[in-house]
Structure 1
Amino acid sequence: MIETEAWVLHQGDGSRQPGQLVLEQFSFSEPDDTEVLAEPLYGTWEGNMTHAMTRNPVDVCRLRMERRIVLGNAGVVRVVETGKNVTRCRPGDVCVVIPIGKPDSQGYPIEVYGYDNRGSVGLLAKRTKLREDQLIPLPRETRYSLLQWAGTSVRYATAWDNWRVTWACWRSQWTNGIAPTPHVWGWGGGVALAELLLAKRAGCRVAMIASNSERLRQISALGITPVDRREFLELSFDAARHGADIDYRTAYAAAEVAFLRKVRQLTDGQRVSIFIDNIGTPVLRATLKALARYGVLTTVGWEGGTDMQFRRPTECIGRHIHIFTHGSSYEGGDAAIADAEAAGEILPVGDDVYDWARIPQLAEDFAAGRIRGYFPIYKVNGA
């Protein structure tokens, strides 16, 4: 058995009370011939880690049927030892993690390493083990820091895979070969931001919605039009409140009008061709109203809620395409990392870097919305 220090989440008591990270010893079995023993260097805090701690939508420990788990599925690790059948990496390699827990027949994740994949030991541990198809060695002469790769890794791979499908679907509708220059907008975090960089490179006009000054500054610095969420803060739809609370309904309606006015203003009245919505339920109603004819709604996440309600006739008549993807295959992740290095689209890392001892504070700050940038990084064995 391997013994290591880790920040551990314990199973809840069934009451859905939020959990806490506890620093304690954690053990796991020795790597087999197809696995590697690795030291996490830097990780980036993901929304699914907060979902796990808040036990929303599920208690992941109970889902995995494990009393204790270690979270963390995005970052960079150093390979310590490799099994005799491992060929993709070797001891000493620094690799980004592609969190394919349980893959389907095409190599896409059904379960996510470091989240809902049973038996996986995430990056909130001083040591862990991974399969070789979860690790992509970084270029030895990379131009970028490990902190930058920690922030980019899974986000860029997920964005790259989703954009590949989204762009192909949008372009497939223009059978006469005459397509307008698309307006692409995004709600969400780092994945949406990475996807907008890919859209910008494809010649699209891009905009990103954010609600704090630092994020708006980062967006603008990347050549993406910033849209200030604070101009329509009441744009958060709750069906029950909308039906029962007239004050809420009035405030929501005003916010929706302000949002759609901003959309028309920034798209010259055309509305949004492709909307990357990784928030979900609270903004879906407004997102769909903002879509142009032949518009595409695409998503890889559900930060604010999982459920969808829409009118099928409206979506059919508008010729809207809805796309849902989840993570990347190994091959897609490998291509995405190579593409990021070649194109120079490594995502910017700000000042949100937390030492090992302050990881619970990072969890608290993320849940409370106190993270200023898109890429909160934590150190494990990093310098």
Structure 2
Amino acid sequence: MKAVVITSPGSPEVLQAQEVDDPAVGDDEVLIEVAAAALNRADTVQRKGSYPPPKGASPYPGLECSGTIIAVGKYVTRWKVGDQVCALLSGGGYAEKVAVPAGQVLPLPPGVSLRDAASFPEVACTVWSTVFMMSRLSPGESFLIHGGSSGIGTFAIQMAKHLGIRVFVTAGTEEKLAACKQFGADVCINYKTEDFVARVKEETAGKGVDVILDNIGAPYLQRNLDSLNIDGRIFIIGFQGGTVAQVNLSCLLAKRLTLQAAGLRNRSPENKAVIVGEVEKHVWPAIAAGKVKPVVFKSFPLSEAAEAHRLMESSAHIGKILLIP
């Protein structure tokens, strides 16, 4: 089969589509013929050599895909050959075939094309596990999403609005803010021209928001703490701005704040299966009802994976970028 190989750590041109061996299928796994794989920021970090795959995972990038099951392990009972599915992966999505534990597979969401379904598993599992399962964001609360026009952001806006939550977003261009508004965001803040802390305080009568989903890290940490309401929660899922910050911790005590961070990739298959099960239970009905829709910006063939990475790193996209074998 063909797969995108990271020939050496570096810039996008190190990504090369090559002939490789088909993946072996474990007893608890299924083999998927990939229809599409979606890009994630983590893929670009892996390409640079800073985010190696977990032990035993595929060396090829790609944390989510959609496709058709072409083989099943002997202990797999739910899935059968011919099922159209999408899946949360530990790697290997940038390929014609990928093996994945059966517990990380989801049925095709009703009303979504096989190709577009690739845009959901990683973002849905990330947002549901962090914002809803761990930070307990609830109807009637308020929610600030940094990078509202990203794949994570466009999904989080739609899901939160569906659940009756007031949504704030930051983005860096008026075009991106307009897109966020279209997806349902209530308050759209241009972080290049506005102080998001001041705007959040203005829009909440000085209280702040209840939950913040942050992918920037260090440079936003103090400002995020200052933007939270009493009993507020921050969830960090990325460090695009850096990892080292000096902060005044007194507000944590004064406002009973919670600061958390987590990733998906290095969790156990059992833990991922729990998250996938919750996503199927809570998110898939919202997609089936048309309340949450795929947001696909552009698709590239596997042979143009380097170009897809350049687009992601330019941040010129809104929503997801797909690779098509």
TM category (shorter chain) comes to 0.7 to 0.9
Partner of 2:229: 292
Partner of 2:155: 194
| Alignment counterpart, residue 21 of structure 1, candidates 12, 15, 18 | 15
1:132 is displaced (CA, Å) by 1.4
Structure 1 unaligned spans of 5+: 100-112, 115-121, 172-179, 233-257
1:6 is displaced (CA, Å) by 1.1
1:321 is displaced (CA, Å) by 1.2
Structure 1: how far apart are the matches of 2:93 and 2:296?
A: 20
| Alignment counterpart, residue 74 of structure 1, candidates 64, 73, 78 | 64
The residue type equivalent to 2:305 in the other structure is I
- Cα RMSD (Å): 2.7
Structure 1: how far apart are the matches of 2:299 and 2:106?
A: 23
Structure 2 unaligned spans of 5+: 265-270
Partner of 2:268: none
| Residue 30 of structure 2 corresponds to residue 36 of structure 1 | yes
Three-state SS of the structure 2 residue aligned to 1:146 is: coil
Partner of 1:117: none
Pair 1:211–1:147, CA change in 2 (3 A): farther
The residue type equivalent to 1:39 in the other structure is E
8 Å CA contact retained: 1:152, 1:346: no
CA-to-partner distance for each residue in 1:306-350, whole Å, 9 max, x for gaps?
Answer: 345433323112211113343363133133134333223433324
1:181 is displaced (CA, Å) by 4.6
8 Å CA contact retained: 1:47, 1:303: no
| Residue 280 of structure 2 corresponds to residue 337 of structure 1 | yes
Partner of 1:358: 304
Pair 1:304–1:337, CA change in 2 (3 A): farther
- In the superposition, the TM-score normalised over structure 1's length comes to 0.73
Structure 1: how far apart are the matches of 2:175 and 2:244?
A: 30
Structure 1: how far apart are the matches of 2:116 and 2:56?
A: 35
8 Å CA contact retained: 1:299, 1:323: yes
Structure 1: how far apart are the matches of 2:280 and 2:173?
A: 29
| Residue 226 of structure 2 corresponds to residue 229 of structure 1 | no
Structure 1: how far apart are the matches of 2:172 and 2:3?
A: 33
8 Å CA contact retained: 2:65, 2:87: yes
| Residue 60 of structure 2 corresponds to residue 60 of structure 1 | no
| Alignment counterpart, residue 168 of structure 2, candidates 199, 207, 220 | 207
Specify the structure having the higher radius of gyration (Cα). 1
Pair 1:29–1:264, CA change in 2 (3 A): closer
| Residue 93 of structure 2 corresponds to residue 123 of structure 1 | yes
Three-state SS of the structure 1 residue aligned to 2:320 is: coil
8 Å CA contact retained: 1:6, 1:124: yes
Pair 1:96–1:219, CA change in 2 (3 A): same
Three-state SS of the structure 2 residue aligned to 1:125 is: coil
